[in-house]
Amino acid sequence: MTKIGILFVCLGNICRSPLAEGVFAARAEARGLTHRFHIDSAGTGRWHVGEAPDPRAMAVAKQNGLDISHLRARQIVREDLSRFDSVLCMAGDIIAEIEARRWAADRTAPELYMQAAGLGAIDVPDPYYGGPEDYEAVYRMVSAASDRLLDRFAG
């Protein structure tokens, strides 16, 4: 069976999208669906390329029994829009940034993550300049969205 490719995208690829990737992977594994998906995450920015997730993102993951320390940041490239079936962006400004690169002719149009999960046309707020409570809020949103996305893609 062909795997469903899903790319999670944020700005730095060290906070929101690694949490989205890590939680989705864990939920897929819990349902025995790992083999159905090819997932990855990326950022529109390149400041953190090669880095592990932000310590605050790793901490909130760990509090919830999840290890995301193996993930490494990378920047989105044009080919991602043909390689992946879904490109799920954590916020509207990320979609705008991808569209500004005029990659629109490629196969996969970027979508808003929460909307793709059926949870409304809302952003997952950037927690980078916030505190632990902002990372907890990201975790809660990603937790709800991951189950909904699994229902959508593997239902």
Active site residues: 10, 16, 126
End-to-end CA distance of the chain: 15
Decide: is 76 part of the binding site for ligand 4NP (CB under 6 A): no
The answer to whether 47 contacts ligand 4NP (rule: CB under 6 A) is yes
User: At its nearest, how many Å lie between ligand 4NP and the CB of residue 117?
Assistant: 17
- Pick from 6, 7, 15, 81 the residue near ligand 4NP by CB under 6 A: 15
Q: Which residue, 10 or 81, is less far from ligand 4NP as judged by CB?
A: 10
24-28 long-range contacts, CB within 8 A, separation 24+ = 24/146, 24/149, 24/150, 26/66, 26/146, 27/146, 27/147, 27/150, 28/150, 28/154
- Under the binding rule (CB under 6 A), the answer on residue 146 touching ligand 4NP is no
Residues that bind ligand 4NP (CB under 6 A): 10-16, 43, 47-48, 126, 128
